[in-house]
Structure 1
Amino acid sequence: MQGALTFDEIQKLVKENNRSKEFSDEFVICLIWKETNFNPSRTNSQTITGLMQISKGAVDMVNKLTPAGTHFEHADMLDPATNIQCGTLYLDIAKNKLGGIDASFGTGKGYSKSIHTCEACLKGDTAHPMVALHKIHL
């Protein structure tokens, strides 16, 4: 089991693997922090796995709704780069086809509000990223 990654490690992974056309790197970083505190080994059940807590259903949906040649296996969601690639594609699907991330990714209405607040904070104060991230869990 791998422990939590640092902010710098997550930032690099997100920059290299964010496939979203809708969500900024800062948003993805904040979502990962909210979901797992940067721990890529985190599982919430047998079906929700990795940094972005990707479910088997989300992996299946990404495979079904992305261009040919894009394919993921749920068993690979513990790999941080793969998890971010699949998870960011799923974010776009959630926003555009499933009624938003509050309805399809989080725990209900208002889920994304703290993530958007964190995103704005990260964009405005890159010198102190952990200050923005810790606001999510207050």
Structure 2
Amino acid sequence: MDGVKVVVAILAVVVVLAVAAFAVISLTSDDPRYTAHEMLSLGRYDKYDGLILEVARQRNIPPELIKAVIWKESRFDPTKKGGQGERGLMQITEVAAADWARAGKVEGFVPTMLFDPKVNIEVGTWYLRRALDHWSEKDDPVPFALAEYNAGRGRVHRWMKDSGQGSTADAKDLQDAMDFPGTKSYIAAIISRSDFYRQRGEFAEQ
């Protein structure tokens, strides 16, 4: 009986501590829901920060943006496989991976290698950097690059044409012309999450 009382007492303490922790999160975090998931992930949300920072410096891409794409695409699950065969942290398609392998003259590449976090982030950021470069003449190339990452370059050009502004279309023109609600929400979610990481200094001291 005494043993049961001890277990009950321990459980009560755990519950109180959990409630207190979530109360602190609610008061101190700009996104309590995200922070709660982050705590419950047991380190998964921060596991790839070192790798992200390393590749970000190589590609000249803000690490917050890379991490936000990974969060949106896979919630930091390197084993995730999408409905169209996308693989890994940044949900890379076989076509995109083949382009990367061909451009980098990578020999012996097979799609299962995309489940390796380092390879996946290398490929995903190569594709993202290529998209950012393609739209570099825009005042803000990020929405265009993210639209391409999610829906393909051909659709981005079509949306620009449909906007009536053609090659001079800005990010708002692009958004207004999009007929893919999923791509609209995808871009907004990643930009918002990237800002969240930046505001809390995710990579500030690294």
Moved over 4 A (4+): 67-72
RMSD between aligned residues: 2.8
Calculate the TM-score normalised by the size of structure 1: 0.72
Q: Which amino acid aligns with 1:105?
A: N
Report whether the alignment pairs 1:73 with 2:110: yes
Query: 12, 15, 19: which one pairs with 2:50?
Result: 12
Change (3 A) 1:123 1:58: same
8 A Cα contact 2:72 2:186, kept in partner: no
TM-score after normalising by structure 2: 0.51
Deviation at 1:82, TM superposition (A): 0.8
Identity over the aligned pairs, expressed in percent? Answer: 24
State the structure with more CA Rg. 2
Equivalent runs, 1:48-87 vs 2, <5 Å: 48-64=86-102, 66-68=103-105, 72-87=109-124
Matches within 5 A, 1:1-138: 6-18=44-56, 19-21=58-60, 23-45=61-83, 47-64=85-102, 66-68=103-105, 72-97=109-134, 100-105=145-150, 107-126=182-201
Identify the range of structure 1 (8-17 vs 91-100) with the bigger mean alpha-carbon deviation: 91-100
Distance 2:93 2:67 in 1: 18
Which ranges in structure 1 are unaligned for 5 or more consecutive residues?
A: 128-138
Q: Does 1 or 2 have the higher relative contact order (CA < 8 Å, sep 6+)? A: 1
Residue 122 of structure 2 aligns to a residue whose secondary structure is helix
Is the contact made by 1:54 and 1:83 (CA closer than 8 Å) also made in structure 2?
Answer: yes
Distance 1:34 1:87, change over 3 A: same
What SS does the aligned partner of 2:127 have?
helix
Residues matched between the structures, number: 123
TM superposition shift of 1:10 = 1.9
**SS of the counterpart of 1:54?**
coil
Higher helix share: 2
